[in-house]
Amino acid sequence: MKLLSWNIQWCRGVDGRVDPGRIARVIRELADADVICLQEVARNFDTLPGSRGEDQFALLAAAFPGYAAIEGIGVDVPGEAGARRQFGNLLLSRLPVRQVWRHLLPWPADAVHADMPRVAVEAVIEAPDVGDLRVTTTHLAYYVAAQRLAQVDALRAQHAAAQRHRTPPQQADASQGPFHWRPSPGPGIVTGDFNCEPASPAHARMLAPFDDGTPMLRDAWQVAHPGTPHAHTVGLYDTAQWPRAFACDFVFVSDDLAPRVAGCHADASSDASDHQAMILTLGA
């Protein structure tokens, strides 16, 4: 199974041009990905630099026929002529999708900085030779560390809760209706733009052990490249927004998936966004 995760900056490249078609082409060039996790996808946001208000969710979904398209909207506000301006994440999967959850992440108020609501999209994917697993893609708070830490705690809580949903309750509904009980796989991947650096408090918190014995999360880069500093994911080409290069985009895998990590790398070739894509390969 191959997964690609990328903050696409509303399809805006370092050249200032917004081009969803270019984003789709680069994704295909980088990897034959089974699952594609995109952050900063926009719909009807003609107020964003370079944008004409494209429905990027629809355009990117259309660019990958045969993939299920799962939207996670964090910002949803009025636009022109009754349209909604929406901003968030998009998960595309050509593997069967069994369940989907959309989690609105905590957003504690801050007296200094404005930010935006953040969302995590979680899907149960049926991966051949790997088994069912949960894939979560997200984009955490940029300005306020307290918001980011609260969001990390929420992601960890969701991972822990999944372990408790692996076995049926005494009164499990089997009606095929909305209350029908379906197991949640324990193994999971959490990926996206975490807006923090390796070894920062938020990154360290993602890797912290769980008090209840839940399988801990591990940085797939560290699994694949022990002792090697994480490749930079911003500041390689866009040196205006990012005066220095560093890593803030990660792929975390649950401990039970770590032995299957066959590769994890960051693209260093594309300037189609201000971020670089991360690519994870899981082996049998």
Q: Which tens digits make up the pLDDT trace of 82-112?
A: 899 999 999 999 999 999 999 999 999 999 9
- Name the nearest CA neighbour of 273 among 52, 111, 41: 41
Instruction: Name the token pair of 246.
Output: 């560093």
Position 255 scores a pLDDT of 96
Position 80 scores a pLDDT of 86
Position 136 scores a pLDDT of 98
The parts of the chain modelled with pLDDT lower than 50 are none
CB neighbours of 255 closer than 8 A, spacing ≥ 6?
A: 215, 216, 217, 218
User: d(Cα 21, Cα 64) in Å, to the nearest integer?
Assistant: 11
Position 81 scores a pLDDT of 83
Q: What integer best gives the mean pLDDT of the chain?
A: 96
Phi-psi region of 152 (alpha: psi -120 to 50; beta: other; left: phi over 0): alpha
Report the residue count for the chain: 284
Q: CA-based diameter of the chain, in Å? A: 58
- Name the nearest CA neighbour of 188 among 150, 108, 118, 131: 131
Residue type, 158: Q
Percent helix, strand and coil across the chain, each to the nearest 5: 20, 35, 45
Position 268 scores a pLDDT of 98
Position 82 scores a pLDDT of 85
Distance of CA 101 to the CA centre of its chain: 13
Position 214 scores a pLDDT of 94
Q: Which tens digits make up the pLDDT trace of 146-186?
A: 999 999 999 999 999 999 988 888 888 899 999 998 889 99
What domains are defined for the chain? 2-168+180-282 (3.60.10.10)
